[in-house]
Structure 1
Amino acid sequence: MAVRFPEEEKLYKVLSEHANYGGGPKNSANCDENGEAFQLDFLQDKPLLAQRVQEYMAWDKNPQTLKSLRKLIDCKSTDSLSKVLETRLQFGTAGLRGVMGAGFNAMNDLVIIQTTQGFLKYLQTQFKEEDLLTRGVVIGYDARHGSLRFATLAANVFAKHGTLVYLYPKICPTPWVPYAVTLFKCCAGIMVTASHNPKDDNGYKVYWENGAQIISPHDKGIQAKILENLKPWEGVWDVDADSLLGSQAILDPYGPVFDGYYGDIIGKEFGCNRLKNELSNLKIAYTPMHGVGLHYMQHAFQLAGLKPFYPVNEQAQPDPDFPTVRFPNPEEGKSALNLSIQTANREGCTLILANDPDADRLAVAEKLPSGEWKIFNGNEIGALLGWWCLENWKSKNGTDLRFVYMIASTVSSKILTRMSDIEGFMCDETLTGFKWMGNLAYDLKLVGRHLLFAFEEAIGFMVGTTVLDKDGISAGLRVAEMAVQLEKDGLTLNQQLIKIYEKYGFHTTRNGYFLCHEPQVIVSLFDGLRSMENGGYPTQLANGKYKITRVRDLTTGFDSGEKNQEATLPTSKGSQMITFYFDNGLVATLRTSGTEPKIKYYTELCGEARHRDWDALKNTLNDMVDTIIRDWIEPTKWGLLLPPTDE
């Protein structure tokens, strides 16, 4: 029996106003949705493009995107039509992500329908019909433009073709989709979000039945099925609010997920010390960065006994235009946290927590005794949370850590590895992305291992295994509790970070990126690195000042550090990633982003615990990174763009 939505009237209104584009005139050749003819004579020498135009105009029923494409046709904009129609968004392990607009190469209603049809067809090859009917899929969405619409279209495709759908009745954090997958034992999950991307973007993120993001070969299988099912099926455009909300195939997951999720993060993973939390006078400011996080973080604080935080009012409510920031990404640092700092100073707060718009990432800042604000980078937060998780485990389970694990991505700090060497737990490394860490965490659970913590430097943190993906809500709660305990002990987060470095060695990092919108430039840059010295990889930096001891190339599969010179981590010819290991301990990785037009660099220099001249290590790091940028990346030569800044 279907469970009625708690906010059914609100959802009904939205669906009634925006959902049903079906039932209009049927498109004929060279006619748009209104039956008006359009001329393609200017494409006589481009038959494939003309065919793509005809297909899109025949299949799409969204008046806005049809109007946009009709303008390109009327203006005979051959180049623009080719750009949006002759290639299409590729479904990968991150699902889909791109700018919203008309065409097969953008996020829009038609592409969502095509993607969902292909995904369903792939699921039918992996699961029994009964599983799809009784276990189904869960679908969530953030507050971006188009997210509810895309989620509704996807739900309609599934529901009308024999698949149970758990559709959230309101915006939710991304972690609530993988959590629901495991809670309801679903076959898969979909989250409609573009996370911290610019406001014009959206995305379609997919989880498998284990609650982790999909990895290969699922992505390839889904992409193949999408291409086999491009023409919209009968009835998929006919999204009727009454039939959708009354459908026996649409269920509301919100209540059970609310109870289960908070029960797990408050009690199961660690157990909150409510008395300490209630007695603390620590004042905290919080921003959801115009996203979904406010009420979800408020519930976490309330249930854990923490004093209410001070919200950044200008960013507290969902706003898909993100009006107060250039990019809704707290990882950007001070430029993204200016309003948070103003709120904290005004209210007398000493700690800032910030989620990105879909609440799966967490940024942290702390007011120093000097009055300045320290914005912790992802590696520093990872060191603090790793230490905190370890201390909590030992206090409850003792010091036998043989079956205890932590995980970090290969471009993140090696601080957890150094901790594991001293403390005796196991530490593993994966490729960049929580799809790898989530799946490894699942495999470890199957063999009775206890995963305490996983992180990546891009402010993504997974505390425990309640959610097999990064989770900004649970991570924010853990940082708040850690700060409360440290305050009771007379310490700040920054002071505890120093104590960690004193015990495990100073780890200093410098990461950054350049923008590049030309794929061939990226290929040429990386190929240049592969042939820099005598047709091979470089062996030194700065005219021999720094020696390279190992090179690992996860694009080609080469690793000079392995006996057979073959990399042990998974490789991908579709992306660029080279890591250089130096004789002084520096590790430098250059890679492309899977979701943004960026060339990223990650560097870390690790000192021994006895090495206390931290300024010397920082100077060495900066000298090496400056040289890597000047001599290897060569931004001027390749026309690379610096990251934009609000300052």
Structure 2
Amino acid sequence: MDATGLKEKAEAWLRADPDAATVAELRDVLASGDLADLADRFAGDLEFGTAGLRGVLGAGPNRMNRAVVRRTTAGLARYLKATVPDVTTRGVVVGRDGRKLSAELAEDAACVFAAEGIPAHVFPSLAPTPLVAFATLHLNAAAGVMVTASHNPPEYNGYKVYWENGAQIIPPHDKGIADFISRVEPANQVELLTPTEAHARGLWRDVPDSLGDAYLDAILKLRVHGRGSDSLSIVYTAMHGVGGVWMERALERAGFSNVHLVAEQHQPDGTFPTVRFPNPEEPGAMDLSLATAERVKADLVLANDPDADRLAVMVREGSGKLRMLTGNEVGVLLGHYVLVQGPTRRSKPHLVTTIVSSTQLGDIARELGAAYDEVLTGFKWIANRAVERERQEGTQFVFGYEEALGYCVGAVTRDKDGIGAALVFADLAAWCETRGKTVLGYLEEIQRRFGLYVSAQRNFTFPGAEGAQVIARIMEGFRRSLPSRVGELPVRNVLDYKKGERLPPSNVLALELEGGGRVTARPSGTEPKIKYYFELKETLATGESVEAARARGQARLQKLIDAFIALARERGQPEVGA
């Protein structure tokens, strides 16, 4: 688009933008003559997908702002009225985190719902994502909206949508909602009531405090051991997010009295002053937690991301050093714990993970007679599969996880829940303590029975339109020329999920290797990256230490990684980009 076309689009946006702040911002961009910035803002509409919306805050249709949220909410409201007959009775839950503009975006959403005749059940203060997911089910709402960008940097915000089953939306609802949004009038013509008017008409209903108590009661019932501990020393960080008060209350009620908070990160702060990227997986994000844990000699570190739907865990090694568990290790520990140590009355227990997570949970489930599924990446697929099998087969969902630190124990929420998972992990650690075992000792028991799985992930970033072409070229290069082996390991099977044979079509390619290994390639759905996931299985010899087996596995894994990236180079991956 030429400069004239861009400026015409910008002027049209300015005429329809109801927010003085973004109007002033866009006028400054126009005055600066920065055509590259303008082109990015008007490259298209921020896409509404199965995760709702997420993007950088700012003016323009390719940004998160009040105009986009008002039109999105109007489209969602009209789609709900067309598909959920009793939506005007049941209403929609609206929650928000502590990010910049979250309060304004949540209020706009509630006021648009009210103008559409749909009651909004609004959290009067900050709420973690799992509490909004819980409220959608608990209040029998027709849908739920959470204003959050989860663990993204501070310049981001987002709009997450739950369906009436309490799970994030999946097709065809995402496309249906997007179609209704495309037909919504300009933002300044979208009708909305004031909060006062909405209250007066009974269309703005504050979520009562009793709902939070019901949530805590529900996650406390997820514990297996259930006795707490005065001696287990726990450090917790909220990562400047909204989970702090809830995690404190949960641990206290569960009987964990030796809890130490990372004070610098405990209060909600959308600027995230101590971390650039508030994701526990990112380098440096856990530094303050580690320092606090060393100061108090903690046994266990629990970390939530800012909206408290993810969980990171650190535990002590035999040497006394703290080690961050991988997402797969936490998933295997929790899954085995609730399946084996949990209630024995369960009929048809069901576990779910994703196609890029470890295959070990599947091996455990099959050997122990549990139902098991692998689904596409994203917790929406885990939750919806759990609901589907419960309805069709009478299974009982006990656990689901994805390797990117997302876990759900039981059916309290239909989304990942970093608070509930943290509570159950503390319960697991207390159970280990009563047995005279460490958490890593318990993990070793599992590995000796089911194998030791080593895994790694490598990401390569290729920004912009040219980068998207590079990523597409790599994926299609593998499809045109499938390798018969990766390094020393023969490829025994290829799973091309783009064909949609077993799961909905997705641009993912997996190579299953002899001996139980797997390599998976997929473009990121939210960032300009291609992601590679690697896993190998090691069998411990009699009397062999876990450390020795892991070292052997890691050495083999590195050879696998090097061999696969060499294959990717042959199929169009540039030398740069990491």
Report the TM range for the smaller structure's normalisation.
over 0.9
Describe the superposition over 1:222-246 as per-residue Cα deviations: whole angstroms up to 9, x where unpaired: 1111110041364646x64543554
1:354 corresponds to 2:303: yes
Instruction: Provide the secondary structure at the position in 2 that maps to 1:330.
Output: coil
User: CA 1:86–1:426 in structure 2 vs 1: closer, same or farther (change >3 Å)?
Assistant: closer
C-alpha displacement at 1:195, in angstroms?
Answer: 0.3
From 173, 188, 191, the equivalent of 2:143 is: 188
Alignment pair present for 1:337 and 2:268: no
SS in 2 for 1:110: helix
In the alignment, what sits opposite 2:491? 548
Q: 1:87 aligns with which of 44, 48, 60?
A: 44
Alignment of 1:137-536 (within 5 A): 137-232=92-187, 234=189, 236=191, 240-267=194-221, 269-270=222-223, 273=226, 276-278=227-229, 280-332=230-282, 335-393=284-342, 396-397=343-344, 403-446=348-391, 447-531=393-477, 535-536=480-481
The answer as to whether partners of 1:402 and 1:424 remain within 8 angstroms in 2 is no
The one of 465, 490, 502 equivalent to 1:568 is 502
Which of 559, 564, 571 is 1:628 aligned to? 564
In 2, the alpha carbon distance for the partners of 1:497 and 1:96 equals 38
Partner of 1:16: none
Letter in 2 for 1:620: R
Inter-partner Cα distance in structure 2 for 1:271 and 1:318: 31
Contact 2:473 2:572 in 1 (8 A): no
Distance 1:635 1:117 in 2: 45
Structure 1 Cα separation of the partners of residues 295 and 351 of structure 2: 38
Stretches of structure 2 that go unaligned for 5 or more consecutive residues are none
Q: Distance in 2 between matches of 1:62 and 1:290?
A: 27
How much has 1:515 moved relative to structure 2? Answer: 2.2
- Per-residue deviation, 1:450: 1.0
Deviation of 1:428 (Å) = 1.1
Amino acid at match of 1:485: W
Listed one character per residue, the Cα deviations across residues 299-327 of structure 1 (whole Å, up to 9, x for unaligned) are: 11122122151000110111111111121
The answer to whether the 8 A contact 1:159-1:165 is kept is yes
Secondary structure of 2:503's counterpart equals coil
Letter in 1 for 2:20: P
Report whether the alignment pairs 1:123 with 2:80.
Answer: yes
CA distance in 2, matches of 1:140, 1:126: 23
SS of 1:549's partner is: strand
Deviation at 1:490, TM superposition (A): 0.8
Aligned partners of 2:70 and 2:190 also within 8 Å: no
CA distance in 2, matches of 1:405, 1:75: 57
- The number of equivalent residue pairs is 571
Quote the sequence identity (%): 37
In structure 2, C-alpha distance between the alignment counterparts of 1:154 and 1:609, rounded to whole Å: 55
TM-score (norm 2): 0.94
How far is 1:633 from its partner? 5.4
1:532–1:258: structure 2 CA closer, same or farther, 3 Å change rule?
A: closer
Which amino acid counterpart does residue 318 of structure 1 have in structure 2? Answer: P
Letter in 2 for 1:107: M
Cα distance, 1:608 vs. partner? 4.0
Q: Secondary structure at the match of 2:383?
A: helix
Deviations 1:334-363, CA, capped at 9 Å, x for gaps = 621110011111112111000000000000
Of 591, 595, 603, the match for 2:534: 603
Q: Match of 1:586?
A: 517
Change in 2 beyond 3 A, CA 1:503/1:43: closer
Deviation of the 1:331 alpha carbon: 1.9
Question: Is the 2:71–2:190 contact (alpha carbons within 8 Å) kept by the matching residues of 1?
Answer: no
Deviates more, 1:360-369 or 1:509-518: 509-518
Distance 1:448 1:61, change over 3 A: same
1:532-591 per-residue CA deviation (whole Å, 9 max, x = no partner) reads 59x42222233xx33222222223x1xxxxxxxx6312113xxx3211112232201111
The superposition leaves residues 93-113 of structure 1 with CA deviations (integer Å, 9 ceiling, x where unpaired) of: 010001001100000010111
| CA distance in structure 2 between the aligned counterparts of 1:404 and 1:609, rounded to whole angstroms | 28
Q: Which moved more, 1:340-349 or 1:51-60?
A: 51-60
Query: Does the Cα contact within 8 Å between 2:17 and 2:188 map onto a contact in 1?
Result: no
Q: Give, in angstroms, the shift of residue 76 of structure 1.
A: 3.6
> How large is the Cα RMSD of the aligned pairs?
2.2
2: CA distance between counterparts of 1:168 and 1:215? 25
Q: Which protein shows a greater Rg?
A: 1
Matched, 1:638 2:574: yes
Match of 2:24 in 1: 67
| Contact 2:232-2:258 at 8 Å conserved across structures | no
Cα distance in 2 for partners of 1:362, 1:402 equals: 28
SS in 2 for 1:181: helix
Superposed CA deviations along residues 146-175 of structure 1, whole A, max 9, x for unmatched, are 111100000010011200100101111101
Distance 1:176 1:568 in 2: 32
Give the Cα separation in 2 of the matches to 1:119 and 1:226.
Answer: 7
Equivalent position SS for 2:286? helix
SS in 2 for 1:353: strand
Could you say what secondary structure the match of 2:126 adopts? coil
Distance 2:514 2:88 in 1: 57
**CA deviation vs aligned residue, 1:177-215 (integer Å, no higher than 9, x gap):** 121111111110000000000110010000000000000
CA separation in 2, counterparts of 1:516 and 1:536? Answer: 22
AA aligned opposite 1:593 = S
- Could you tell me how far apart the structure 1 residues matched to 2:277 and 2:418 are? 18
SS of structure 2 residue aligned to 1:336: coil
CA contact (8 A) 2:18 2:188 kept: no
Q: Measure, in 2, the Cα distance between the counterparts of 1:439 and 1:108.
A: 29
